[in-house]
Amino acid sequence: MSSAAKNLATARHTDTTLSVEQVSYAYSSNPAQAPLFTLEATSLQARAGEIVAILGPNACGKSTLLKLIAGSLAPLSGRVLLDGAPTHTMTPRVRAQRIAMVQQESPLLFPSRAWEFVLQGRHPYSRTLRFESEEDITIARNALAQVGAEHLTDRWMDKISGGEKQRVILARALTQQPVLLLLDEPTLHLDIAAQVDLLDALRRLASVNRYIVVVVTHELNLAAEYADQIALLQRGRCLRVGPPSSVYQRELLEQVFQTPLTVETGPSGRPRVNVWAGPAAERS
């Protein structure tokens, strides 16, 4: 059998490009009324192997932008192109073969084992009623191995810890053999060790499997440490896109997050944010 990396890497598109071109969106409960929330025209580009972090305070449009990239929302204007094809007009099946989404976990209605869960990632490749092939099983095993979760294979999904579950969910995304991996607050509810584990895994996946990784997060320092590009959003406007060093400016971050803070250069040479001690200190 081929190695895990070879098996999961997307041989088809090693030079994948993601191009978000002036996309905007508006939520409204009633078309006649003014929209409740708008995302103003946002653009960014990413290449295979890059990690893009979308940052911003609550309700700034991070998740909306992620859904637009995933193609599950149709943009009001502009377009999101994955290798030149608009993501929101892809059929669900084709989209699932190219884009994997890791969401904040939703509880399962009936319990299932980790391997059953991971094999679901092969769904976009299966025919109606086709049973899993040897190849599907190998891919699932490799995916579990690649995120360091082989030991969880036969465990029940409702009997493992949050960090372990997050890895299994990531493994399922890998079995989709995507070119674009999207994550919505993957580190939420994880302790610091589990957060670093997960982000290390993402970094590896981006470079070894040549994925484009887009991650929505609240963790300013972890984003600075791991992301190649940062998109900073505030109230539906994309204020800046660029490498961490260009986005992490004290005045800009203070204004966006409404918190006094300082920015310094950390041991890794990347920016690091310190929140001032005080009543708001717990919040960063």
Partner 1 sequence: MQPLTLQRLLVRCVALAGVLFVVVVVALKLGAVPVSLYGLAQDLIRFAFHRTSALSSNYSLIIFDIRLPRILLGIFVGASLAVAGTSFQALLRNPLADPYVLGVSSGAAVGAILAVIIEPHLALSPEAATLLTPLGAFLGALATIAGVYLLGRRNGGIDSNTLLLSGIITASFLSAIIIFLMNILTSRDRGGMAFWLMGDLSTPLQANLSWVIRVGFFLAAAAIYTTASDLNLLLAGEKEAMHLGVDIKRVRIVVYVAASILTGLAVSVSGTIGYVGLLVPHLMRLIFGSDHRILLPAAAFGGAIAVVLADMLARTVVAPGELPVGAMTALVGAPLFIYLLRRRMT
Contact footprint for partner 1 (CB under 8 A): 70, 72, 91-97, 99-101, 103, 106, 108-112, 115-117, 119-121, 123-124, 126, 128-129, 131-132, 136-137, 140-141, 153-154, 176
User: At its nearest, how many Å lie between partner 1 and the CB of residue 153?
Assistant: 6
Cβ at position 132, least distance to partner 1 in Å: 4
Measured from the CB atom, the residue of 97 and 166 that comes closer to partner 1 is 97
Query: Between 20 and 99, whose beta carbon lies closer to partner 1?
Result: 99
Residue 107 or 278 having the CB closest to partner 1: 107
Task: Report the nearest approach of partner 1 to the CB of residue 115 (Å).
Answer: 4
154 contacts 113 by C-beta, under 8 angstroms:
yes
SS3 216: strand
Residue 45's nearest CA partner among 11, 81, 9 is: 81
18 near 69, Cβ under 8 Å? yes
Torsion-angle region of 46 (φ positive above 0: left; ψ -120 to 50: alpha; else: beta):
beta
Q: What span, in angstroms and rounded, lies between the C-alpha atoms of 50 and 55?
A: 16
**Smallest distance from the beta carbon of 255 to partner 1, in angstroms?**
32
Give the helix, strand, coil percentages of the chain, each rounded to 5. Answer: 40, 25, 35
Supply the minimum distance, in Å, between the C-beta of residue 149 and partner 1. Answer: 13
**124: helix, coil or strand?**
helix
Between residues 30 and 110, which has the closer beta carbon with respect to partner 1? 110
* Residue with smaller CB distance to partner 1, 184 or 219: 184
